[in-house]
Amino acid sequence: MAAPSDRGATGVRGRAPDAVGAALLAGSAVWALISAAGREGRPEGVLLAVLAVTTGYVVGRICGSLVPVATASVMALVWLAGAISSSQETFGTSVSAASPPGDSGAVAALLVLAGGAACCAGSGARKASARLALRLLALAIAGCALLLGSVVGFIAALGVLLCSLAAARMRARLLGLAGYALVTVVVVGASWAVAERALPEGLTVALEGQLTPHRAELWHDAAELARERPGRGAGPDRFGDLSPAAARSLDGDGKPHSAPLQQAAEQGVVGVVLLGGVYGWWLYALGRSPCSTPVILTAGAALTALAALATVGNALSFTQVTVGAGLLAGLATARPAAGERPATPPGPAEGARAGAAAER
């Protein structure tokens, strides 16, 4: 899925994103230990998530430099199978923003990853027939979301497919990535406003009707904890012990079902900055990637959809999702192996330039 580029220049450009990512991931692990020190915090979940993202990213970089299209195609099927497997306990029920219990967060997230991988493979395939087949696979994945009862998964997977089709005609990758960042900021800001009860009453009632009052109470408790302990937070994995709303729930998982709010409640301001920094690092790495712009924007759409799901749900509570996110980011930022031909066909602009050169 990598476009041709000067190997020396690519090597120089590639060091900065890798260094930034290593610093952010190491900082996340260290801060989890610091925020848990001297109290009953349990940092194991954060450390496992950091390890999962790192492992997925490294594997994605390796496979993306060797067999990118094949790897993305296989992973699309693997993630689809994982979503089907995760949905068995809740098959036939509506998996939406209003029904967070069980593995619904994993189902929606895995469907987004599967659709994103299929679209990335389609954007990177050389043959038109392969591109069509892979995009039909992405459409089938979105359809499977409806069969599994995941309305949110259907909307997100279909949105990734539409973004991928639009990206095939775009060449301004930075503008697209900036748009993804803006969408994420808006979603996070809206969730925080709901948690702080800062929105007009009518809008608050409408949003809480979609989120369920229980989740709105969880978010409010998370905001209260963040306000009381902005430094180190309450400690990793301690939200369920301190939240009155979580204590009232008989079938809850002790999570606020919002990654930014959970970080704020359990690890304070620094935790939120590190979480946002990891997402920003992915966008930065995509912007500096030697892969073609359609692949970059497709992967960015999938990761942004995943970030939105994590903001309003429990998607990042599942190891298979964090591994998958790292793997997809690694695939889209991999550099081609020495001597490899580009895996993506030239776009309209490149084709026009090539034709003009041939005429001369």
At 39-65, the pLDDT tens digits run 888 899 999 999 999 999 999 999 999
* Bridge partners of residue 150, in order along the sequence: 95
In a domain, 102, yes or no: yes
Residue 88 DSSP symbol: G
pLDDT at 11: 42
Residue 98 confidence (pLDDT): 38
Determine the residue type at 39.
R
Amino acid found at 230: P
Please tell me the distance from the alpha carbon of residue 81 to that of residue 205, in angstroms, as a whole number: 37
Distance separating alpha carbons of residues 280 and 329, to the nearest angstrom: 12
pLDDT on residue 1: 63
Q: Are 269 and 232 a contacting pair, CB within 8 Å?
A: no
Between helices 68-86 and 319-333, what is the axis angle to 10°?
160
**What tokens appear for 246 in the block?**
């979580």
Q: Compare 237 and 207 and report the one with higher pLDDT.
A: 237
DSSP string, 57-75: HHHHHHHHHH-HHHHHHHH
Say if 345 falls within a structural domain. Answer: no
Asked if pLDDT for residue 352 goes beyond 90, the answer is: no
350 is a domain residue: no
Is 28 within 8 Å of 46 (Cβ atoms)?
yes
Q: Among 91-95, 103-107, 234-238, 249-253, name the most confident range.
A: 234-238
At 349 the three-state DSSP class reads: helix
| pLDDT over 90 at 76, yes or no | yes
The answer on pLDDT for 125 being more than 50 is yes
Q: Would you state the pLDDT for residue 157? A: 94
Whole-angstrom Cα distance, residue 59 to residue 56? 5
Residue 187's domain comprises: 11-338
Token digits of residue 195: 């948690």
Q: What angle do CA 246, 249, 251 make, to 5 degrees?
A: 115
Nearest Cα residue to 146 out of 75, 73, 74, 83: 83
Give the contacts of 249 (CB within 8 A, at least 6 positions apart).
214
CA–CA distance, 241 with 254 (Å, rounded to integer): 7
Full-model pTM: 0.86
Residue 346 lies in a domain: no
Residue 121 lies in a domain: yes
Identify which has the larger pLDDT, 98 or 248: 248
The CA-atom distances, in angstroms, between 160 and each of 140, 180, 275 are 13, 11, 22
Residues paired with 224 in a beta bridge:
none
Residue 101 pLDDT > 60, yes or no? no
Each residue of 185-210: pLDDT tens digit?
Answer: 999 999 999 888 888 877 877 777 77
- Between 28 and 207, the more confident residue is 28
Domain-located, residue 352: no
- The tally of domains found in the chain comes to 1
pLDDT tens profile 239-298? 888 888 888 876 667 889 999 999 999 999 999 999 999 999 999 999 999 999 999 999
For the chain, give the mean pLDDT.
84
Residue 191 near residue 169 (C-beta atoms within 8 A): no
Q: Please report, as a single letter, which amino acid is at residue 43.
A: P
pLDDT digits (tens, 9 = 90+) for 155-170: 999 999 999 999 988 8
Q: State the first-to-last Cα distance of the chain, in angstroms, to the nearest integer.
A: 30
Domain-located, residue 299: yes
Please give the Cα distance from 234 to 256 (Å, whole number). Answer: 13
Q: 297 to each of 98, 143, 190, 260, 282, how far by Cα in Å?
A: 29, 22, 24, 24, 12
